[in-house]
Amino acid sequence: MVEKKGAELMNRILEAATAAACMLSVMGPSAVFAEEKPAGDTKEHTLEVTYIYPDGTAKAAGELKYKSMEKENAKEGMTYLAMEDLQTFVMKHRPDKGFEADLGEVWFEKDKKEGTKLTLEDTDVSLDTDNLYLDADKDDGNYDIVFYQAPGKVFSQETVKAGDKIQLPEKDPGKDGYVFDGWDLKEGTKAEQNLYLYPKWTQETAQAQGDGVRNVTLTFDPENGQPAQVLTVKAKEAVDASAIAEPAKEGFVFKGWDPEIPATADASQQFHAVYEKEPLPEYTVSWEMDGQVIRTDTVQEGQPTPQAPDVSVPDGYVFKGWDPEIRTNVTENAVYTAKLEALPDEPQAVDMVTISFAGGDQEIAPITVVKGSAIDESTLPKAVKTGYTFTGWTNVPATADRDLTLTAAFTKDEYKIVYRSEGSVVKEFTAGYGDATPQPEAPVREGYEFEGWNPQVAATVTGGAEYNAVWKALPVQDVKIRIQYLEEGTNKELHYANVVEVRTGSAYDVTRFDKPDIKGYTYVKTDGSLTGTADKDATMTVWYAKAKKGTTGTNGTDTSTNTDSALYIGLAAAAAVILVVLLVLKNRKK
């Protein structure tokens, strides 16, 4: 809910700000907005500010404490947050590294259902809530540097890449009755975030004297961290520059004031010390041999020591370096003297022998040593062979008495070969480099068909490896369990068969269909398992024998309602009834 000010309202605010500024002395960057905050408005408000990141994450930025700006058209229940207060807050309370606060729009609810857009020309944000949400956008490495002349009035604006120096405006923003005291930013500052900067002002202190002459104040900033020097002179009279002490800054030479001190002062003004980097001291570096100077170099302090000159060594000597040891950088005057060592009068002949090396993937150059010298195995080169570990040279003698060839010894490297199925280890092998890759028996998994290993098993071992079983799901099938009832000896079906369908691999139990009573027959036995796991279609046979006269069925109760015997008896009875009816009808006709 940003107050969009028209040109007329803006002018009234600026006029009020200018009038109020005349009653203030030196003010910081927030002084511009203080002009619109009357002394009577002492109530402090607290605003909870939260950043919302691109992934929707919300993180608290902190509490923004502020005093509401006075507004001519203020609404009851509203507070008015100065834009400069909000800008100062986001500069001090930045989002996480890699993100930058976006002041193009603010929100009053976390779900962003209610908010308002902002521009650099807005002076305040009207609020009826204690919460404010800002977008934390991805930092693209380009920063907006905005210099204001007054609230809502942009004096200069530029976009600077991260790490580049920020250029201050060449012109002063200007304000009647005030001397521009610079920006709240040091010269040469590098861009690291968006910045919103306001001018610092010093109120002109020129006052009319009893004789009608004004005094003006000249302020001299030494730019070295020390307090400024202040000189008060009468307007339009000569300025005594000798009254200003020349400032000093370590490592620099003072070059004057910017701007130059005028001959007479017409108005209050501020001056800044100008420096040049102090030149480094120079040192001489001399190179000598046998008391004679070979060369002399002149080098600035801290620079690298020049390369030493070539040395013409006298006959019978050998060059052994420089004394003292050459320093990396020049820090003082230095003299380096060539060290010469006399050669023996008569060089002695030395017998040499050659040690050659065999074995490994790479050829090793032979070495030459003094005949009879001790052989230190730790100094001999090491052979390399893929898939093997070098263990040393075989039959190394204590001394090199003759030319000889040493043979490398190796041990074969061993690796683990692991086979897995669904994360579990099926089999683990240890095999040597170059061996045929061992493989386990094909694993079994209920309801699946094994298709091989992934990746494909290498023919030989070249390193540690893991292989995972590849499975293909089998289609789900139903298994039929059939229970039939037959007469022993004739295989005559005595009762309709019961059929039960179950899933492949599921447990089944058909005991409830075993040994039903069949009238006229006695139970004998049951072939087949009435319980178990269904892996294929199966048929169970319940056998019966004809019952002897005077006996009942197996269990005393006839559960058969559809046996062949019952069918035949029923048909016979029906035929007899029909025959009787026909005979009666025939007799009536007679």
Residue that terminates a domain, selected from 342, 361, 393: 342
| pLDDT, tens digit, 9 for 90 and up, residues 482-509 | 999 999 999 999 989 999 988 887 889 9
Q: Which CATH number fits the domain that encloses residue 308?
A: 2.60.40.4270
The parent domain of residue 485 ranges over 478-568
**Among 14-28, 251-265, 413-427, 537-551, whose mean pLDDT is lowest?**
14-28
Using CA atoms, how far residue 387 sits from 222, 362, 413, 465, in Å, is 73, 14, 5, 14
Instruction: Looking at the structure, tell me whether residues 294 and 379 fall in a common domain.
Output: no
pLDDT of 126 higher than 50: yes
Instruction: Looking at the structure, tell me whether residues 32 and 105 fall in a common domain.
Output: yes
- The whole-angstrom separation of Cα 31 and Cα 155 is 16
Instruction: Looking at the structure, tell me whether residues 469 and 482 fall in a common domain.
Output: no
Residue 546 within any structural domain of the chain: yes
The mean per-residue pLDDT over the stretch 249-268 comes to 89
Instruction: Looking at the structure, tell me whether residues 63 and 171 fall in a common domain.
Output: yes
Percent of the chain whose pLDDT exceeds 70: 85
Instruction: Looking at the structure, tell me whether residues 67 and 139 fall in a common domain.
Output: yes
Instruction: Looking at the structure, tell me whether residues 209 and 287 fall in a common domain.
Output: no
Instruction: Looking at the structure, tell me whether residues 436 and 469 fall in a common domain.
Output: yes
Residue 584 within any structural domain of the chain: no
Edge to edge, what strands does the sheet with 292-300 contain? 292-300, 282-289, 334-342, 317-323
Instruction: Looking at the structure, tell me whether residues 192 and 160 fall in a common domain.
Output: yes
Residue 586 within any structural domain of the chain: no
Q: Which CATH number fits the domain that encloses residue 557?
A: 3.10.20.320
Q: Where are the beta strands (DSSP E) in 9-152?
A: 44-52, 58-67, 79-82, 99-107, 115-117, 124-127, 131-138, 142-150
Q: What's the pLDDT score for residue 169?
A: 86
Band (551; pLDDT cuts 50, 70, 90): low
Q: What's the pLDDT score for residue 566?
A: 45
pLDDT of 35 higher than 60: no
Residue 169 within any structural domain of the chain: yes
Instruction: Looking at the structure, tell me whether residues 372 and 447 fall in a common domain.
Output: no
Residue that terminates a domain, selected from 176, 201, 226: 201
Residue 2 within any structural domain of the chain: no
Give me the chain's average pLDDT, please: 83
Residue 407 within any structural domain of the chain: yes
Residue that terminates a domain, selected from 221, 246, 277: 277
Q: What's the pLDDT score for residue 18?
A: 36
Instruction: Looking at the structure, tell me whether residues 68 and 111 fall in a common domain.
Output: yes
| pLDDT, tens digit, 9 for 90 and up, residues 171-216 | 778 776 677 778 888 888 998 999 999 888 876 654 544 455 678 8
Count of domains in the chain? 6
- The whole-angstrom separation of Cα 105 and Cα 107 is 7
- How many other β-carbons are positioned within 10 Å of the β-carbon of residue 378? 4
pLDDT of 289 higher than 50: yes
Residue 273 within any structural domain of the chain: yes
Instruction: Looking at the structure, tell me whether residues 260 and 155 fall in a common domain.
Output: no
Band (430; pLDDT cuts 50, 70, 90): very high
Beta strands 131-138 and 215-221, pairing class: unpaired
Band (143; pLDDT cuts 50, 70, 90): very high
Instruction: Looking at the structure, tell me whether residues 78 and 13 fall in a common domain.
Output: yes
Residue 578 within any structural domain of the chain: no
